[in-house]
Chains A and B, each alone.
Chain A
Amino acid sequence: MPYSEIFKDHLAHPRNAGELADADVVVEETNPVCGDRLRLSLRIREDWIEAARFLAYGCPPTLACGSAIAGMIEGMRIDEAMTLTKTQVAEGVGGLSSRKQHAASLAIETLNSALTKYASSHR
C-alpha cells in the first residue's frame, strides 16, 4: 500500500514537533521489537491538554503517527483523549496497511502512558 498524500504531508510538515519546555508530563515509549521510539510532552490545564509536542525515531509510519496524535490531542479533554483508538490515529495519517499498524499502536500506548503518569502524579 503506497503512502497517502496526507501521510507524506505529516512527514514533510510534522505537526506539533519538538518538546515543551514547561511540560507537565513527558514520556518516551519504545517498541521493544523494532526499536521505534515516540516521545510525547504535554502541558495540561485542569482537564484539558493545552499543548502537545512529539519527537519520533523509526520507520515513516511511526513519525507520521507521532505527528498525527500530537495534533489530535492538543486542545482535547483528557477523558476524551483516553478514548482515542489506534484506528483513529491510523485514519489521521490517511490509513495504514496491516503491516504498519504497530506505529498507531505505539502512538496510543505512549499517549496512555503519559496520561496515566500525569494522573498518578496529580491525585
Chain B
Amino acid sequence: MRRVYLDHSATTPVDARVIEAMLPYLTDKFGNASSVHMFGQEARAAVDKARRQVAALIGSRANEIVFTSGGTEANSLAIRGICEAAEAHGKHVITSAIEHPSVRGVIDQLEKRGWDVTRLPVYEDGIVRVEDLREAIRDDTILISVMMANNEIGTVQPVKEIGEIVRGERDREHRHLWFHIDAVQAAGRLPIDVQSLNCDLLTLSAHKIYAPKGIGALFIRRGVRIIPQQIGGHQERERRAGTESVANVVAFGAAAELAQGEMDSRNAHTQRLRDRFEAEVKTRIGDLVLNGNPEHRLPHLSNISFRFIEGEGLLIHLDMQGVAVSTGSACSSGTLEPSPVVLALGRNDELARGSIQFSFGKDNTDEDIDYAVLALTKAVGSLRAISPLKFGVRSAESGVST
C-alpha cells in the first residue's frame, strides 16, 4: 500500500543531511560538552556552532539561545520563568484563545494559582485583533504570549504589531511587560527576526524542521531575567540545567541552517501542493468549509471541516488507505472534545468535530496529492453513506419522510 504523510505539523522526517551532521556525535565525538578534556571541548565547539546556526534563523545573538528538550519545555520555561520572576510587578497575563496546549496548559495552571488571564478571541478568520490586545493591557500585565502561527489552522498572528504595542507600553514606563512568541510552527516557514518583532522570548522546536524529536530552544533576550525551571547544573548559562544532548543540538543547528537556506523553495513547493490539493478537494467533495484566513496562513497547511461526518473516523479511513493526517477533535469516555481551535472560529460542534488538518512537506510529490485526493474522496463518501445527518438531508431533499 502506498504511504502518504500529510502530517508535517505534527512532526517531520529527519533530513538525511541532518542525520549526517549529528551521527559523529553519537559515535566518535561522544563527549560531555561540560568536560574540560578534548572530548568535551569537541562537543562544546559543536554545541556553540549549533547555537549560532539556530540564532541565525531568528536574528538573535548566540548567547540568547537556550537549548531545551523541545517546544513544550521552552514554552513552560518562558511563561513560568517570567511569571515567577516578575510576580511582584503584577499577576495579569494576556494570551490568545488558540494557543498550543503547551502554552494553554501552563497559563491555565497559573490561573488556578490566582493569576488573572485575558484570552484574546480570534474571530472567524482565526486571527487576534491588535485593538483587543490594546484594550486588554493593564498596568499589572506582565506577560503577553501569542503564537506566531497556529498549529492547527495555520493562521499567522499579527505578532509584529503586538511587538510595537509592547514597545509603546515600555516607552510609557510600563517596564515590567514581556512578550513571548511560540514560533514552533512558524520557524523555517516564515522569516523571523526577533529584533523587528520586539519579543523578549521566542520558542522553537527542532522536529518541525526536519530534525529529531527531543530538542528545542528558547530565545531569551539579553537582560531578561527568568527563574530557571530545571536546576542542578551550570549548563545553558544557568538557565536550564542538564547535560546538553549534543547530537540533537548539532542536528537542530544543521536543520536550522538548511531551513533558512531553503525556506523560499520549500514554501513555494508546499504551497503549490496545498493549493492544488484544496482546489481538487473542493471540486470533488461538497459540503465542506475551509478553516482559517486563506491569505494569512502558513503555506503548507490546510484545515477543512467536512459536514455530516466526524474527524477521527475520517482519519482512520485515510490511515487504512495509507494517508496520515491529523484531527484536533477527540472523543474519550463519551465526552466530546471538538477542536477548541475550530470552535474558537465560531464553528458549530458538527464542523469542529469534522475538521481535518492536512500539512504538506518538502518531500511530498504531486503523486502524493493525486493519491490523497482519491483516498479522501473515498473516505468521505463511505462515512457520509452511513451518516444519519447526511441521510436526513437526503430524505428532506427527496421529500421522503423519516
Contacts and interface: CB of A to CB of B under 8 A. Distances in A.
Interface of A: 3, 8, 11-12, 14, 17-19, 26, 28, 31, 33-39, 54-60, 63, 66-67, 98-100, 102
A83 B180 CA distance: 59
Given A17-B386, A26-B402, A11 B334 contact: no
Contacts of A98: 333
Given A14-B386, A26-B402, A99-B332, A57 B310 contact: yes
Contacts of A57: 308-310, 387-389
Contacts of B334: 31, 33-34, 36, 102
Given A34-B335, A57-B310, 11 more contacts: A11-B320, A26-B402, A28-B388, A33-B336, A39-B391, A55-B391, A57-B309, A59-B331, A60-B312, A63-B386, A102-B333
8 contacts: A3-B316, A18-B385, A28-B388, A34-B331, A39-B388, A55-B387, A57-B308, A63-B386
Contacts of B332: 99-100
A75 to B, nearest CB: 21
B331 A55 contact: no
A11 B316 contact: yes
Interface of B: 308-310, 312-313, 316-317, 320, 331-336, 349, 353, 382-383, 385-389, 391, 402
Nearest to B394: A19
A28 B391 CA distance: 12
Majority secondary structure of chain A interface residues (helix, strand, loop or mixed): mixed
B386 A56 contact: yes
Contact of A36 (B317, B331, B333): B331
A5 to B, nearest CB: 10
Given A33-B336, A35-B349, A60 B313 contact: yes
A19 B391 contact: yes
B383 to A, nearest CB: 8
Contact of A11 (B317, B333, B353): B317
A55 B402 CA distance: 13
Contacts of B317: 11-12
A55 B388 contact: yes
A35 B386 contact: no
A15 B308 CA distance: 20
A63 B313 contact: yes
A89 B349 CA distance: 27
Given A54-B386, A55-B386, A55-B388, A60 B316 contact: yes
Nearest to B333: A99
A17 B385 contact: yes
B385 A37 contact: no
Nearest to A105: B334
Nearest to B315: A60
B347 to A, nearest CB: 14
Contact of B310 (A31, A54, A58): A58
A37 to B, nearest CB: 5
Query: Which 5 interchain pairs have the tightest Cβ spacing?
Result: A102-B334, A34-B336, A59-B331, A55-B388, A39-B388
B329 to A, nearest CB: 9
Contacts of B386: 14, 17-18, 54-56, 63, 66-67
Contacts of A38: 388
A31 B335 CA distance: 9
A99 B312 CA distance: 15
Contacts of B333: 98-99, 102
B388 A35 contact: no
A8 B320 contact: yes
Contacts of A59: 310, 312-313, 331
Contacts of A34: 331, 334-336
A59 B383 CA distance: 11
A60 to B, nearest CB: 5
Contacts of A99: 332-333
B388 A56 contact: yes
Contact of A56 (B349, B387, B402): B387
A117 B259 CA distance: 63
Contacts of B313: 11, 58-60, 63
A33 B333 CA distance: 10
Nearest to B350: A35
Nearest to A56: B386
A86 to B, nearest CB: 12
Contacts of A63: 313, 383, 386
Contacts of B388: 28, 37-39, 55-57
